[in-house]
Structure 1
Amino acid sequence: MAYSQLQKVETSLQIKASAEQFYDVFCNKPHTIANISPENIQSVEVHKGEWGKEGSIVSWNYLHEGTVCVAKQVLEGIDKENNKMTMKVIEGDVLGLYKSFKSNLQVTPKGKGSVVLWAMEYEKQEDHIPDAHTLLQLAVVVSKKIDAYLTQGHN
């Protein structure tokens, strides 16, 4: 039987950086993430369009569970006012496991810092494929590195 049910994993983490600073890195300067977290992200390049613009296509070379992977994403939704964005994978390793894969990021100011909410929506290719917890964990690890980078005075 074909398995095609949309599933979702999500998590949130408290960071010290401002919502605007953190969002700015992911939305407008994702290419800097390779310098901030080189053990996780090897390179981020814009293929079509420009950084931070809806419809732009960005490709990520990253390390996932010890394997070098590639993901090409289209920036589907950019909401700078609310520090939100949606990225849909259109090519890459993740589509070997999932029919569709979308990452949603929202950063909300809280106290002296902010809260980062990551939500990943996907459809598994087959029943036995694991949920996207390891990819969610990768986003958390990278988020913590970005926070450390931003709060140590490197802007």
Structure 2
Amino acid sequence: MALQGKMETSLELKSSAEKFYNVWRSQSFHVPKHASKHIQGVDVHAGDWETAGSIRIWKYTVGGKPGVFKEKVHFDDENKTVTLNGLEGDVMKIYKVYKPVWQITPKGSGCLAKLSIEYEKLYPDVPVPDIYVDLMVNMTKDIDEALTQT
């Protein structure tokens, strides 16, 4: 059984690529408002909201359980890609590597969001991060819905 892997899915969104990417690029403090069922808070631990390498701490709910995730963010503006490199938190108790990625591509008046999680399990019996992919999908849908209402 492989200890490392990558899970991927794609979603078509109604919001523009620029608008959706901008939420992650410089306005991630809005994510708890847009996706409050899943994200209860986010704070900057080091850096700021817009600088690559900044460290943020997220409070979330997955599978009905609260969790905390500390990450270092990386932006690729040319490819509209946001990568959250896991540093600490609940998910890091079972994964050595945990790296959620949002890649946003324009498509018509909306965009295509390619979501992935690169991971490496700490132990063979750790499940693949299905519930975290579901969390990303649900957050993405909620953010898109909020952006299309504004």
CA contact (8 A) 1:72 1:89 kept: yes
Rounded Cα–Cα distance in structure 1 between residues aligned with 2:128 and 2:54: 27
Please say which of residues 138-147 and 30-39 is displaced more in the overlay: 30-39
Rounded Cα–Cα distance in structure 2 between residues aligned with 1:99 and 1:18: 34
**Residue number in structure 2 paired with 1:61:** 59
Rounded Cα–Cα distance in structure 1 between residues aligned with 2:13 and 2:118: 23
**Residue number in structure 2 paired with 1:27:** 25
Rounded Cα–Cα distance in structure 1 between residues aligned with 2:28 and 2:53: 15
Rounded Cα–Cα distance in structure 1 between residues aligned with 2:51 and 2:63: 30
Structure 1 residue corresponding to 2:88, chosen from 88, 91, 95: 91
**Residue number in structure 2 paired with 1:137:** 134
Question: How many residues end up aligned between the 2 structures?
Answer: 150
**Residue number in structure 2 paired with 1:150:** 147
Structure 1 residue corresponding to 2:47, chosen from 49, 54, 67: 49
Gaps of 5+ in 2: none
Gaps of 5+ in 1: none
TM-score by length of 1: 0.92
Instruction: In structure 2, give the amino acid aligned to 1:71.
Output: F
CA contact (8 A) 2:92 2:98 kept: yes
TM-score by length of 2: 0.95
Instruction: In structure 2, give the amino acid aligned to 1:33.
Output: V
CA contact (8 A) 1:15 1:115 kept: yes
How far off its partner does 1:4 sit? 7.1
1:6 aligns with 2:16: no
Deviations 1:68-107 (A, max 9, x none): 10000001x3112221121101010001111111111110
Instruction: In structure 1, give the amino acid aligned to 2:33.
Output: N
Secondary structure of 1:81's counterpart equals coil
Instruction: In structure 1, give the amino acid aligned to 2:143.
Output: I
CA contact (8 A) 1:52 1:78 kept: no
How far off its partner does 1:59 sit? 0.6
Structure 1 stretches of at least 4 aligned residues deviating more than 6 Å after TM superposition: none
Deviations 1:114-144 (A, max 9, x none): 0001110111111111111110110110100
**Residue number in structure 2 paired with 1:80:** 77
Structure 2 residue corresponding to 1:123, chosen from 114, 120, 125: 120
Rounded Cα–Cα distance in structure 2 between residues aligned with 1:32 and 1:64: 19
